[in-house]
């Protein structure tokens, strides 16, 4: 993801992080957390031999050490359920339909009741386990479309059409509810089934509460694990190469060593700073707060003495094995007037293009990690000048992995009980076909969601982009009909000057129709690298 889109802020104090700049403690023993599938034994040996020969050829000060650092730190128990997870942008939650979402392997349904209050249930009807997200809203109640059972507020069933008159609704006819909070424009869900919501853990972002702070927000569904997404977002070194000329300040000739530091560590995450080697005076900051929040911020004083703040906020929800959902917010305390004239759909399609540039190799990376079933220590060759936070993140996974459904750490690994279903992002002609229709297997009709298709990764989650596509397509048809009408009028016109004038107007309208078609395609069609060939 393009770092220049998320220039970053000075590190803000957080009570949840240990301020002492000490490295992580030893990770759990290999025997306790690292399981090798029998079929991978030989592969692992060959990988290690290859790495050993590589290390000998590279200067020692270039690579990050693969050994765990021996430091004592107070142990805390981590439980992924005792956390807040970002579900959706508040403004994008539909008013007239339920919304099915996933946190790890837990399926939930989010909707607004008759009073506009956000409600969240387990996404299954207690009757016959049908998905409530496939249902509908009736008088503010969530109705299961299988047999019409209706639920409201606290999850109690208030209507069963099949009951005889006067029949009592069974007490067990209720759904599991989850607490949700709308905070700073994002809906958060508390996943614990044992404890009430811990509001001290609910994320709060100082910049976004500042008067006059403006941001552009969007949602993206991505076909790879949230840990790979976070790893990618922690990696400013890839931006000049992967996003050359896509992000407005990314140029491949600017690829260079980065100076990266880690200043805070705890069970709740870590924080640090980074700068480019050729411009050390501009120090960005990065902060990862468990389990989903990554900030990349910048704070400085301009020539007029005004304090300016820029922030990129990434909220990365695990949406099942091999899938993630990202809420991305780019904000600033001040921005050029030109930005206010550019429609949001343009910024959104640019962000989509950036994610598509990464999607092919990140989804394939997901596939390799699931197949190899070994820690990243055995696979990654981490460089000091680009991969400091990647190593830091995988070491954090070592510490907290026992409290997660599955994970791949630096030295330990615990694979999911059921293998992930991962769809690799298409390339070349295959990508063109996938991007030319809104759904896999469809001929212009939405039949089946395709997580590699921009329409399903972003447009279905964004009211602004849906309305823009609908508007441009409507204008395309209207302008085309008007053009045909003018051509018909030119045919029957008697005066030559009238015929010429009508045909010129018809040509202009036809060109405008084509422009509307191009913009609609820009919003919905995947980016394809032109240097790729099948």
Residue-by-residue DSSP string for 241-310? HHTTTTSTT--GGG---EEEEEEEEETTEEEEEEEETTEEEEEEEEEEETTTEEEEEEEEE-TTS-EEEE
CA angle 234, 237, 243 (to 5 degrees): 100
Among the residue ranges 41-45, 364-368, 369-373, the one predicted with the least confidence is 41-45
pLDDT of residue 515: 97
How many domains are contained in the chain? 3
- 379, 477: one domain: no
- Shared domain for 281 and 327, answered yes or no, is yes
Asked whether residue 130 is domain-assigned, the answer is yes
pLDDT number for residue 69:
54
Shared domain check, 144 and 99: yes
Look at residue 87 and tell me whether its pLDDT is greater than 90: yes
**Residue 131 lies in domain:** 84-185
Q: Examine the pLDDT at 100 and tell me if it is beyond 70.
A: yes
On whether both 250 and 394 belong to a single domain, the answer is yes
Whether 440 maps to a domain, the answer reads no
Give the domain-ending residue among 424, 448, 481.
Answer: 424
pLDDT above 60 for 12: no
pLDDT-wise least confident of 13-27, 411-425, 487-501: 13-27
Residue 215 lies in a domain: yes
Domain for residue 435, yes or no?
no
Question: Could you tell me if residue 385 is inside a domain?
Answer: yes
User: Based on the domain organization, do 328 and 370 belong to the same domain?
Assistant: yes
Confidence of residue 304 (pLDDT cuts 50, 70, 90): confident
pLDDT of residue 59: 52
CA atoms within 13 A on the CB side of 334: 7
Mean pLDDT of 127-153: 94
Inform me whether the pLDDT recorded for 383 exceeds 80: yes
Q: How confident is the model at residue 449 (pLDDT cuts 50, 70, 90)?
A: low
Look at residues 396, 424, 452 and tell me which one is the last residue of a structural domain. Answer: 424
Q: Does one domain contain both 380 and 471?
A: no
pLDDT at 336 over 70: yes
Question: Are residues 301 and 364 located together in one domain of the fold?
Answer: yes
**Is 376 part of any domain?**
yes
Closest to 404 (Cα-Cα) out of 78, 84, 173, 86: 78
d(CA 436, CA 426): 12
What's this model's pTM, rounded to 2 decimal places?
0.82
Decide if 191 is inside a domain. no
**DSSP H or E run through 326:** strand 324-332
Mean pLDDT value across the chain: 82
Question: Is 28 a residue whose pLDDT tops 80?
Answer: no
C-alpha–C-alpha distance, residues 371 and 324, integer Å:
19
The answer to whether position 51 is within a domain reads no
Could you tell me if 225 and 106 lie in one domain? no
244 pLDDT exceeds 50?
yes
Report, as an integer, the average pLDDT of 418-434.
49
pLDDT at residue 249, as a whole number: 77
Residues 413 and 377 both lie in one domain: yes
């Amino acid at each position: 993801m393009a770092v220049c889109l998320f220039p970053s802020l000075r590190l803000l104090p957080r009570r949840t992080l240990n301020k002492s700049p000490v490295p992580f403690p030893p990770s759990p023993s290999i025997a306790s957390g690292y399981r090798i599938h029998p079929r991978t034994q030989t592969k692992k040996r060959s990988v290690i031999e290859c790495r050993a020969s590589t290390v000998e050829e590279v200067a020692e000060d270039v690579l990050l050490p693969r050994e765990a650092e021996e430091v004592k730190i107070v142990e805390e128990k981590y439980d992924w359920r005792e956390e807040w997870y970002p579900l959706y942008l508040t403004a994008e939650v539909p008013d007239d339909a339920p919304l099915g979402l996933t946190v790890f392997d837990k399926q939930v349904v989010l909707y607004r009741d008759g009073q506009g209050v956000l409600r969240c249930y387990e996404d299954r009807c207690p009757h016959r386990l049908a998905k409530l997200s496939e249902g509908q809203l009736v008088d503010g109640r969530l109705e299961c479309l299988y047999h019409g059972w209706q639920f409201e507020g606290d999850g109690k069933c208030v209507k069963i059409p099949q009951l005889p008159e006067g029949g009592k609704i069974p007490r067990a006819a209720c759904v599991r509810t989850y607490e949700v909070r709308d905070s700073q424009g994002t809906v958060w869900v508390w996943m614990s089934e044992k404890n009430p919501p811990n509001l001290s853990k609910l994320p709060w972002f100082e910049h976004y509460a500042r008067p006059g702070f403006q941001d552009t927000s969007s949602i993206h569904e991505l076909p790879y694990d949230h840990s790979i997404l976070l790893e990618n977002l922690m990696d400013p070194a890839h931006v000049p190469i992967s996003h050359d000329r896509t992000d407005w300040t990314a140029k491949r000739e600017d690829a260079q060593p980065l100076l990266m530091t880690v200043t805070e560590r705890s069970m709740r995450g870590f924080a640090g700073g980074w700068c480019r080697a050729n411009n050390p005076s501009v120090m960005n900051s990065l902060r990862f707060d468990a389990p989903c929040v990554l900030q990349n911020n910048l704070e400085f004083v301009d020539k007029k003495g005004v304090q300016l703040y820029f922030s990129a906020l990434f909220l990365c929800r695990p949406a099942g094995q091999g899938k993630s959902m990202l809420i991305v917010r780019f904000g600033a305390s001040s921005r050029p007037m030109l930005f206010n004239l550019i429609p949001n759909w343009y910024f959104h399609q640019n962000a989509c293009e950036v994610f598509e540039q990464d999607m092919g190799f990140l989804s394939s990376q997901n596939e390799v990690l699931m197949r190899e079933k070994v820690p990243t220590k055995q696979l990654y060759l981490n460089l000091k000048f680009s991969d400091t936070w990647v190593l830091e993140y995988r070491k954090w996974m070592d510490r907290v992995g026992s409290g997660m459904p599955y994970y791949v750490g630096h030295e330990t690994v615990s694979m999911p009980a059921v293998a992930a279903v991962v769809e690799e992002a298409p390339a070349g002609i295959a990508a063109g076909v996938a991007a030319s229709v809104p759904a896999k297997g469809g001929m212009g009709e939405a039949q089946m969601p395709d997580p590699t298709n921009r329409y399903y990764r972003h447009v279905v989650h964004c009211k602004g982009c849906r309305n823009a596509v609908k508007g441009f397509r409507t204008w395309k048809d209207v302008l085309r009909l008007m053009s045909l009408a003018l051509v018909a009028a030119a045919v029957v016109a008697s005066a030559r000057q009238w015929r010429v004038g009508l045909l010129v107007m018809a040509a202009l309208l036809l060109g405008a129709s084509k422009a509307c078609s191009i913009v609609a395609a820009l919003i919905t069609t995947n980016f394809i690298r032109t240097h790729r060939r099948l």
